[in-house]
Amino acid sequence: MEKTYNPHAIEQRWYQTWEERGYFAPSRAGDANYCIMIPPPNVTGSLHMGHGFNNTIMDTLIRYHRMKGDRTLWQPGTDHAGIATQMVVERQLEAEHRKRHDLGREKFIERIWEWKQESGGNITRQLRRLGSSLDWQHERFTMDEGLSEAVKEVFVRLYEEGLIYRGKRLVNWDPKLHTAVSDLEVLSEEENGFMWHIRYPLSNGQGHLVVATTRPETLLGDCAVAVNPADERYRHMIGELLELPLTGRRIPIIADEEHVDPEFGTGCVKITPAHDFNDYAVWQRHRDEISISEQAHGGLINILTIDAAIRNNEDEEAHLIPEKYIGLDRYEARKRVVADLETQGLLLKVDEHKLMVPRGDRSGAVIEPFLTDQWYVKIAPLAKPAIEAVESGRIRFVPDNWKNTYFEWMRNIQDWCISRQIWWGHRIPAWYDDEGNVYVGRDEAEVRRTHQLSDDYPLRQDEDVLDTWFSSALWPFSTLGWPEQTERLQNFYPTSVLVTGFDIIFFWVARMIMMGLKFMDDVPFHEVYVHGLVRDSHGDKMSKSKGNVLDPIDLIDGIELETLLKKRTSGMMQPQLAKKIEQQTRKEFPDGIPSFGTDSLRFTFAALAATGRDIKFDMGRIEGYRNFCNKLWNASRYVMMNVEGQDCGVGPARTGHSAPASELQRSLADRWILSRLQKAKQAVADAIEGYRFDHAAQAIYEFTWNEYCDWYLELSKPVLNDPNASEAAKRGTRRTLVRVLENLLRLTHPIMPFITEEIWQRVAPLAGVDGETIMNRPFPSRRESLIDEAAEQEMEWVMQFILGIRKIKGEMNIAPAKQVPVLLANASEADQSLALRHRPFLDFLARTESIEVLPPNDHGPESATALVGEMKVLIPLAGLIDKDAEIKRLEKEISRLQGDAERTEKKLGNPSFVDKAPPAVVQKERDKLNENLKALESLRAQLDKIQSL
RNA sequence: AGGCGCGUAGCUCAGUUGGUUAGAGCGCUACCUUGACAUGGUAGAGGUCGUUGGUUCGACUCCAAUCGCGCCUACCA
């Protein structure tokens, strides 16, 4: 084996082997089914830290269950990501100074497919680099044939049940992308703006009302002004008419209790029903009052084009919008409207005002409420069973509190607008004839058949496509073959767990639950593990514009500073930030990023995966875990060196041979490490089952480093190197060395697949273990027969002995290698026999020159002291040790013990503690005090002795 | 406005039904090229657990209030 762990040499090779040999496919046998659906990444996307984290967790679960013998499927696939992907290709066209309309629908879609072919493999290649053991044979894509069938099937069935309908409603309109978007795709942020106070004169010339608005240009579409019926100031005006400024129109004053807050602004609200959701609701409530005034369209006046410019109303009978504003962009129109109001003396004042501005999550454009025809899913009937599924515990959130977020949303859910005015996606399976009739069916032929329309009867398909999340919502069953009743569907639906970030609980999780219950009559998964966001080391969200994005592949492979700089500063939306990003990057990564390998990265993700918490990605951590890999690597190297070609009391694989007990002798250390291993196995399994990957990682780390390496490997040396040690003892130690390592590798494999496979291939034969790959070997389980409390206790004695001497050496500046003579005072029979039995361990790890037992009541010469239980371990001062230093050391130790003893005494002196605390707790305190007092007595005597010199 | 979460060593984080001297890694200090590993070893310094009250024999842990930070949902025109 190489001296230093080198991830690159092993990772690619093993992944290829695993995949080629078909290890990722579900096995035929298995008592239980275990299945996870990958949250499908954007087919043209690239891997980010969130994917890295998410997939590490899933792969750990999958590998763990596969090793446990479950029939395990991790379903791979990608999402067509309608708007996101279309935008990328539109940007490419833009570079050629073309628009999608220049190409036409068909050509444009072809172009997107081309782009998908070109970049589509990227994300899946990167998932492979992470070691993800996905069943690639069955990879799916949301727009592949089967999934498209599923989408149509669902649409048609929902339509037939009346759960999908078409209607003219106010939607969130993205004027840049020219499409409706759902509520979830709108992000509101507080921005600085103004509040304009505008005077609306009464038609009877008897005064005016003042309305306050943040959007004066929408005045052009006002149909009323609303006041609160309880507001004394305006009550007498209700029903009167107002002169709507700039338009020559008259609008009524209406009363609306629900919407108008008399305390806010002037207490008068202009109502613009076609451009504001609340106003639309007001309009619906007061339609009659509003249309009494003979307003065109009943007052529902759309003033904007799809680009959010002021619309031409030439097609209308009345010229509702004055000529001068027509064609102006909404913000230009705002300026003009404000200026004109000012000229006419109708603008009273302008206040600065903070307001929430809604923007499209993809385009960043300010969203307009806009009146259009759209398709909707009637959601309430679907939401009800989905709420119940979580209430009843059929679906469990981890951590539990996310269910509150889920309920909150599900109980206030609005109908889902599923049509999008874009081209990339599943075309809505609806056809129209020239009379405006709508026919819904799986395809045109079916529509003609069921509605008995002749082949030449003109029909055209709806131009719109479905929201991307519509197909994602079907993912847990569409990928398994639905609507066909396939074997995979039977085996793996419902799936076991969904692993995802909280950001898509509404977008995706809730919708999968609704669709799963509706079409499969069962939940899509039993558990939802919700993890946090991966942030940078300062806790900031990673984003291109901040220039703080880390690419998981760069952490795996490493990257030169210059390349990293180029990557972070090229193709930016705001090039002026490049300089700052360059500075930050140079400061944080002066030498670029070293290569850490996949296993280190995965272990880091696991170690940081505390539940319900975002993770700040700290380079120190990944470095530490890279070192851990190196530690494991070198420990294995040591084992190989000592075991290869030697007799380990292990027969060749499958022969079942192992040396008879008489030829095999286990040392204390052997029995101890085997016992500790059993506990580690339990801890790791419990942690993974409970989604505590941080605990799993920690248990592995501590066992490997602090027990196996720090103690056990060291303790194996005196046995293996002692020419006087029996062959049986050596055999026992070799066997333990290699067997524990082999177990440890399997224990670690779910988190770190590559390094464990690489080492296992060499170690397994020596451990007498058969198998082609570690992937399919059983996950280690606790063996009660190997738990040895006596050995653990005895080992504790040995460790205390060694630590005591090391401590004296460390604090006294005695070279660790310096061999010192040791005297034992107050040593019991047991102490003496332990010291004798484990002399080789003590000599080797504490570098003791000699160990001599003093007769009772002999306190020995002036010495430095360590306590092991009641026994005093003495290192004589003579020449070695500074008297004053030892006095100081003792005083420190005494004062610590004394403080402790006082605290305990006080506790025990408190009658209510003794009365009320459980007896076991009281006894524990008593024992502690006893021990303390004995130790104190012993140390004080020692101190007196040295002081009196 | 409502909901959720966080505040523990210089930094990143554990601390599972209240009972430890509050832990780990990184960083820091001193010493050590010992034959698995300097991506290492040994020893050590460092915390009034945001603040204030309360419950309790006992609070990092439970309750209340408060300060600071973050997120989500809905918004006042």
Which residue shows structure tokens 């306590």? A867
- Supply the pLDDT for residue A662: 64
Using alpha carbons only, give the angle A556, A748, A754 rounded to the nearest 5 degrees: 40
A339-372 per-position pLDDT tens digit: 999 999 999 898 888 888 899 888 888 999 999 9
A582 contacts A565 by C-beta, under 8 angstroms? yes
User: Which range is least confidently modeled, A158-162, A291-295, A588-592, A714-718?
Assistant: A291-295
Statement: residue A898 has pLDDT above 80: yes
In DSSP terms, which residues pair with A530 in a beta bridge? A500
- Mean pLDDT for the stretch of residues A751-769: 93
Confidence of residue A314 (pLDDT cuts 50, 70, 90): low
Q: Chain A, 348-377: which CBs lie within 7 Å of strand B?
A: 353, 355-356
Q: Chain A, 484-513: which CBs lie within 7 Å of strand B?
A: 502-503, 506
Task: Give, in order, the Cα–Cα distances in Å from A321 to each of A297, A527, A604.
Answer: 14, 56, 62
d(CA A529, CA A511): 16
Per-residue HEC secondary structure of A91-114 comes to HHHHHCCCCHHHHCHHHHHHHHHH
Q: How far is the CA of A624 from the C1' of B31 (A)?
A: 23
A34 contacts A496 by C-beta, under 8 angstroms? yes
Statement: residue A652 has pLDDT above 60: no
Q: How far is the CA of A625 from the C1' of B68 (A)?
A: 33
- Supply the pLDDT for residue A657: 57
Q: Is the dihedral of CA A137, A143, A149, A151 positive or negative?
A: positive
Confidence of residue A927 (pLDDT cuts 50, 70, 90): confident
- Supply the pLDDT for residue A700: 95
**Residue in A908, A905, A909 with CA at minimum distance from that of residue A897:** A905
- Supply the pLDDT for residue A905: 86
Nucleotides of B under 7 A from a protein CB: 3-6, 11-15, 19, 21, 24-27, 30-32, 34-44, 56-58, 71-77
What six digits make up the tokens of A6? 């080198």
Nearest protein residue to nucleotide B41, judged by CA and C1' positions: A710
Q: Chain A, 137-166: which CBs lie within 7 Å of strand B?
A: none
Nearest nucleotide, CA A505 to C1' = B72
d(CA A584, CA A579): 9
Task: Give, in order, the Cα–Cα distances in Å from A402 to each of A516, A528, A668.
Answer: 20, 9, 48
Instruction: Collapse the DSSP code of A618 into the 3-class scheme (helix H, G, I; strand E, B; otherwise coil) and give the result.
Output: coil
Nearest protein residue to nucleotide B35, judged by CA and C1' positions: A638
Which amino acid would we find at residue A638? Y
Cβ of A616 near strand B (under 7 Å)? The reply is yes
A334 contacts A166 by C-beta, under 8 angstroms? no
Quote the strand ranges of A438-511, DSSP E.
Answer: 438-440, 460-461, 465-466, 495-501
- Supply the pLDDT for residue A587: 84
- Mean pLDDT for the stretch of residues A815-837: 90
- Supply the pLDDT for residue A294: 62
Nearest protein residue to nucleotide B37, judged by CA and C1' positions: A634
Cβ of A241 near strand B (under 7 Å)? The reply is no
Statement: residue A315 has pLDDT above 80: no
Q: Chain A, 242-261: which CBs lie within 7 Å of strand B?
A: 259-261
**Strand A241-244 versus strand A249-255 pairing type:** antiparallel
- Which residues does A276 contact at the CB level (< 8 Å), separation at least 6? A218, A369
**Residue in A230, A223, A226 with CA at minimum distance from that of residue A212:** A226
The rounded percent of chain A whose pLDDT value lies above 70 is 97
d(CA A399, CA A551): 28
- Mean pLDDT for the stretch of residues A740-756: 96
Q: Chain A, 582-611: which CBs lie within 7 Å of strand B?
A: 608, 610
Statement: residue A941 has pLDDT above 90: no
Residue A111 CB-density burial (10 A; 0-12 exposed, 13-18 middle, 19+ buried): middle
Phi and psi for A660 in degrees, rounded to 5?
Answer: -65, 155
Q: How far is the CA of A261 from the C1' of B16 (A)?
A: 49
What six digits make up the tokens of A147? 């999934």
Q: Chain A, 626-655: which CBs lie within 7 Å of strand B?
A: 626-627, 629-631, 634-635, 637-638, 641
- Supply the pLDDT for residue A710: 93
Statement: residue A651 has pLDDT above 70: no
- Mean pLDDT for the stretch of residues A599-604: 94
Q: What is the DSSP string of A619-645?
A: HHHHHHHHHHHHHHHHHHHHHHHHHTT
The reported pTM is 0.91
User: Which range is least confidently modeled, A73-77, A228-232, A313-317, A545-549?
Assistant: A313-317
Instruction: Collapse the DSSP code of A45 into the 3-class scheme (helix H, G, I; strand E, B; otherwise coil) and give the result.
Output: coil
Instruction: Give the orientation angle of helix A619-643 with respect to helix A753-766, to 10 degrees.
Output: 10
**Residue in A752, A768, A849 with CA at minimum distance from that of residue A805:** A849
d(CA A689, CA A668): 32
A468 contacts A83 by C-beta, under 8 angstroms? yes
d(CA A398, CA A507): 18
Q: How far is the CA of A698 from the C1' of B60 (A)?
A: 21
Q: How far is the CA of A829 from the C1' of B40 (A)?
A: 38
Bond from prior residue into A780 cis (ω within 30 degrees of 0): no
Nearest nucleotide, CA A714 to C1' = B36
d(CA A428, CA A879): 93
Nearest nucleotide, CA A705 to C1' = B37
DSSP classification of residue A733: H
d(CA A491, CA A653): 34
Other CB atoms closer than 10 Å to residue A903's CB: what's the count? 14
Most confident of A68-77, A878-887, A902-911: A68-77
Task: Give, in order, the Cα–Cα distances in Å from A585 to each of A543, A549, A565.
Answer: 14, 10, 7
Statement: residue A911 has pLDDT above 60: yes
Cβ of A412 near strand B (under 7 Å)? The reply is yes
- Supply the pLDDT for residue A148: 96
d(CA A53, CA A709): 29
Decide if the complex's ipTM is over 0.90: yes
- Which residues does A902 contact at the CB level (< 8 Å), separation at least 6? none
The rounded percent of chain A whose pLDDT value lies above 90 is 53
The larger pLDDT score, comparing residue A169 to residue A55, is at: A55
A79 contacts A140 by C-beta, under 8 angstroms? no
- Supply the pLDDT for residue A661: 60
Cβ of A545 near strand B (under 7 Å)? The reply is no
Q: How far is the CA of A392 from the C1' of B51 (A)?
A: 40
Confidence of residue A640 (pLDDT cuts 50, 70, 90): very high
Q: Chain A, 786-825: which CBs lie within 7 Å of strand B?
A: 803, 806-807, 809-811, 813, 815-817
A455-476 per-position pLDDT tens digit: 999 999 999 999 999 999 999 9
A610-619 per-position pLDDT tens digit: 887 888 888 8
Q: How far is the CA of A923 from the C1' of B38 (A)?
A: 47
d(CA A538, CA A536): 5
Cβ of A267 near strand B (under 7 Å)? The reply is yes
Most confident of A112-116, A237-241, A937-941: A112-116
Task: Give, in order, the Cα–Cα distances in Å from A14 to each of A11, A22, A595, A627, A680.
Answer: 5, 12, 18, 21, 27
DSSP classification of residue A506: I
Q: How far is the CA of A612 from the C1' of B49 (A)?
A: 20
d(CA A38, CA A366): 33
**Mean pLDDT score of chain A, rounded to an integer?**
89
Confidence of residue A573 (pLDDT cuts 50, 70, 90): confident
Which amino acid would we find at residue A486? T
- Supply the pLDDT for residue A81: 92
Q: How far is the CA of A613 from the C1' of B68 (A)?
A: 18
Q: How far separated are the first and last CA of chain A, in Å rounded?
A: 57
**Strand A164-174 versus strand A368-377 pairing type:** antiparallel
In DSSP terms, which residues pair with A461 in a beta bridge? A431
Q: How far is the CA of A854 from the C1' of B34 (A)?
A: 30
d(CA A826, CA A870): 7
d(CA A504, CA A41): 12
The larger pLDDT score, comparing residue A296 to residue A203, is at: A203
Q: How far is the CA of A409 from the C1' of B4 (A)?
A: 13
Helix (H) or strand (E) holding A514: helix A510-520
- Supply the pLDDT for residue A313: 67
Statement: residue A654 has pLDDT above 60: no
DSSP classification of residue A776: G
Cβ of A686 near strand B (under 7 Å)? The reply is no
A207-259 per-position pLDDT tens digit: 889 998 999 999 988 989 999 888 888 888 888 888 888 888 888 999 888 88
A118 contacts A46 by C-beta, under 8 angstroms? no
Nearest nucleotide, CA A639 to C1' = B36
Bond from prior residue into A494 cis (ω within 30 degrees of 0): yes
- Which residues does A567 contact at the CB level (< 8 Å), separation at least 6? A551, A559
Cβ of A30 near strand B (under 7 Å)? The reply is no
Cβ of A910 near strand B (under 7 Å)? The reply is yes
Nearest nucleotide, CA A190 to C1' = B75
Quote the strand ranges of A723-833, DSSP E.
Answer: 820-825
